[in-house]
Every structure is written in C-alpha cells, then in structure tokens.
C-alpha cells in the first residue's frame, strides 16, 4: 500500500521529469563557497523549489532555492542550489526529501560538500578533507517516521557510507590536479551556535577530524535510497578547542570556504568523468 511520502515523491519527480530533457546521473549538494559551480553548468533548466509539489520551501527572502539540471564536465547533473539545514528549523525528513525525489528520477550518485571546522590540529583552513565516515551528533535521523519498502531498507547499512571504491577515484582526481587532500571523519551537529572548546575536544576525542552543521541527514537518506556517496569538506577554521583556540568569525569561514571551494570545483569535471 502506498503511503503519503511515496505519493509526494512521485508527484515531485513526475513534475521535474516533465521539465527536464536529460536524465541526470549525479546529485550535487553544494556547501558554502561552492555556489558558483552553478555558473559552469550548461544547457540548464532551473526549477524553483517552490514550483515543485511537496518540496521544502524557505520563507527567507535571500534563500536561493532552485533545482538546476544541466551539463558539467560533459555529464548531466542535478544541483541543489540552496541547501536545507536543521538549524533553520527543517525536519530531518524534509532535508531527506529531495534526495528521495532524485532517486526516483534515476539519479544514483551523490556529491555532497560542506564547510567544516578543523578538529584535527594538522588541518589548515583552505584545505580539503574527504569524508571517510561520519558521526551523527545531531540526535536526529531523516528515516524516522512511517516506512515503506519503496524507500529502501528500514534499517539501512551505514558501514561503508562513503564508498571506498569512490574514495579512491576522488583521491586520484586530487593527486592528478596536484592538490593536497586530507581524509577524515566528519562530526555533524545541529548548530547554529558554534561548539564550545570543551565540545570540540570531546568531538576530537570521539575520533572525528572535522565538524559541521550539514551533510549527515542527506547522506543517511541517500544511503537508504542506494546512492553511492562522496563527501568533501572545505576546511574553513581551526576548531581544536586548544589553548590557542581563536574565536570564529563568519567572514573567516566564508573566505576559506571560497579558497577551498575553488579547489573542489577544479577537480569536479574529472570526478564526474571517471566515476562510473
């Protein structure tokens, strides 16, 4: 029996399907500093979230909420221009909804990027960390709620959330471009306040290397739906909570997100072309 969520997914994907001319292979979710990837997309169709039945729509006037489908590096991509965060008040399942819609449209690969603070003392602002794993410290989960087997498994496996096979492909792309790539575990929190220094030391002791306020809800929804997932963090600030911890500023975060974002943008065409 179909439940409401399946109906909503089908409505949204039928609407998008009518508007696009090509089958997207990749879903790109862009974090701070990567928004200008949109400028590189050609032959694009732009669909405002508010036109898509059932899509979460922000009421904030400055919020860019568009689904952009077009070509980048010769491959057809679906880009979420405007991301949903728990700290804005979105429910976990609302953040997962667009991923489920993308799956229903036949998309099977997801690249998710974010801005993150460096718990790891060796990480420098402006550098990139590839996610090898994550720890969900939000206390929330997009799969909570009524289940239907059409969504995937009720208890999806998360032991290889960031597929090792694809991590190798990503490493090769950075190596070929001569750009240093670190690897590590992403700790997800809700925010919007930054962590205290004690919290940062705790997150670090838990095994995490970077901390941020996004990504985890999307990745859980994507794994249930059967996506292969790549996660990349733009390291924007030192966040080790040590003796010399400096206060964080949004200006610093955005400046380094933009530096790291350019690096990620430069490897994307090769990633899209070598990930089959």
The footprint of ligand HPA (CB under 6 A) covers: 115-117, 194-195, 211-213, 236-237, 239, 248, 253
8 A C-beta contact, residue 13 and residue 78: no
- Nearest approach, Cβ of 207 to ligand HPA (angstroms)? 17
- Nearest approach, Cβ of 165 to ligand HPA (angstroms)? 28
For 113, half-sphere exposure in the C-beta direction (CA atoms, 13 angstrom radius) is 29
Structure tokens at 171: 């490493």
Residue 3 vs 249, nearer CB to ligand HPA: 249
Residue 87 vs 180, nearer CB to ligand HPA: 87
User: Rounded CA gap, 175 and 168, in Å?
Assistant: 10
Q: Rounded to 5 degrees, what are φ and ψ at 239?
A: -140, 45
User: Rounded CA gap, 171 and 72, in Å?
Assistant: 20
Residue 44 vs 248, nearer CB to ligand HPA: 248
- Nearest approach, Cβ of 103 to ligand HPA (angstroms)? 27
8 A C-beta contact, residue 49 and residue 64: no
Residue 248 vs 255, nearer CB to ligand HPA: 248
Residue 171 vs 193, nearer CB to ligand HPA: 193
- Nearest approach, Cβ of 141 to ligand HPA (angstroms)? 19
Position of minimal CB gap to ligand HPA: 117
In 3D, which of 258, 266, 262, 229 has the Cα closest to residue 73?
A: 266
37: left (phi over 0), alpha (psi -120 to 50) or beta: alpha
- Nearest approach, Cβ of 211 to ligand HPA (angstroms)? 5
């Amino acid at each position: 029996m179909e439940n409401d969520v399946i109906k909503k997914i089908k409505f949204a994907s039928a609407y998008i399907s009518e508007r696009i001319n090509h089958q997207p292979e990749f879903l790109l979710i862009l974090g701070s500093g990567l928004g200008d990837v949109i400028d590189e997309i050609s032959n694009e169709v732009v669909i405002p979230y508010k036109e898509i039945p059932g899509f979460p729509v922000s009421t904030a006037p400055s919020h860019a909420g568009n689904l952009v489908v077009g070509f980048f590096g010769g491959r057809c991509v679906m880009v979420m221009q405007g991301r949903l965060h728990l700290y804005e008040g979105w429910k976990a399942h609302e953040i997962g909804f667009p991923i489920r819609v993308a799956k229903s449209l036949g998309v099977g690969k997801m690249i998710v990027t974010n801005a993150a603070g460096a718990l790891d003392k060796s990480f420098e602002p402006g550098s990139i960390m590839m996610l090898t794993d994550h720890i969900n410290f939000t206390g929330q989960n997009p799969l909570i709620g009524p289940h239907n087997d059409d969504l995937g498994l009720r208890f999806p496996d998360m032991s290889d959330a960031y597929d090792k096979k694809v991590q190798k492909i990503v490493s090769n792309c950075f190596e070929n471009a001569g750009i240093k790539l670190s690897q590590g575990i992403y700790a997800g929190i809700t925010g919007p306040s930054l962590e205290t220094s004690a919290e940062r030391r705790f997150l670090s002791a838990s095994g995490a290397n970077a901390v941020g306020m996004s990504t985890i809800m999307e990745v859980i929804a994507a794994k249930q739906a059967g996506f292969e997932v790549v996660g990349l963090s733009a390291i924007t600030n030192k966040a080790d909570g040590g003796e010399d911890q400096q206060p964080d500023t949004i200006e610093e975060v955005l400046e380094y997100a933009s530096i790291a974002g350019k690096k990620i943008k430069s490897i994307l065409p090769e990633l899209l072309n070598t990930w089959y």
